[in-house]
Amino acid sequence: MKENIVIKYRHTVLFYLLATLIPWIFWFAASYVSHHVVYSKSTWTAPLLGLAGLCFPMILTIMLVSRHQDLRKDFLGRFLNLSFDKWQYYLTACLLMPASILCAMAISLLFGYSPSQFVITGHYTFTSGVFPVWFLLILAPILEELAWHGYGTDCLRSRMSLFKTSMLFAAYWAVWHFPLAGIKGYYHANVVSEGWLYSLNFIVSIFPFVFLMNWLYYKTNRNILVAIIFHITAGYFNEIFSTHPDSKCIQTILLLIVSIIVVLKDRQLFFKRTLA
């Protein structure tokens, strides 16, 4: 893995400051619009504001990367650096999240929850305005991972161990989503309306998710497509079934166990400070 190039991702404060401030401006505006009468006059307004906020970190990444030839080359090369000897990580990226939610629902049956959870409903637990939900379940992970694993993760990793990088980014990412909870009909707003337990579960679930995604990312020579696929499967397979919210809590426990095992087995990757 060309770890030395990671040192050149230097603009950590600038990246995270702008990647938070600008999306929040759009999302707080979308929240206001979605709850006021103006929304009934234009159903496009709130979704477009939401999408603009979602796009900005990716645009920021492109702006920062495009200024340096070596970063441009590194960024573009991380889509094509697939290697046959990494097949087990590619497979894990595709199957871990769907397997975890299926196992969680199976475990929930032992506590009396309904087998109907396994039914593919054909509808989703949230709305996204004028955009089809399936479209956002694919687009959002692409836009986010082009930013988070295009620049955000590496600029943290250039300063600290992967363990600290993952902990700090997971905490940041939980806070970054905060304004989305105010946009009427959005997934995060619905989670909040379900109660504190499920809101807490969403926050906690981010931590094992980030650890596992970063593990896959660095194990595949920083391949951005692996991160995108992992993120898409997480959102999509948690939506297509009639999953009880308590099963998602069970899934979080399972992912925490898996992430702890991964960190313990790959201590060198997570706790090594130097990049050389």
In this structure, what token pair is assigned to residue 124?
A: 């989703």
Phi/psi at 241 (5° precision): -95, 165
Tell me if residue 149 is catalytic: no
Tell me if residue 144 is catalytic: yes
CA 201/CA 144 separation, integer angstroms: 21
149, 177, 188, 231: the active-site residue: 177
- Contact between residue 56 and residue 179 where contact means Cβ atoms under 8 Å apart: no
Outline where DSSP puts E strands in the chain. Answer: none
144, 145, 149, 231: the active-site residue: 144
In this structure, what token pair is assigned to residue 73?
A: 């080359």
CA 174/CA 165 separation, integer angstroms: 14
- Contact between residue 5 and residue 158 where contact means Cβ atoms under 8 Å apart: no
Burial-class residue 276 by CB neighbours within 10 Å (0-12, 13-18, 19+). Answer: exposed
- Contact between residue 70 and residue 208 where contact means Cβ atoms under 8 Å apart: no
In this structure, what token pair is assigned to residue 174?
A: 């939980």
The set of catalytic residues is 144, 177
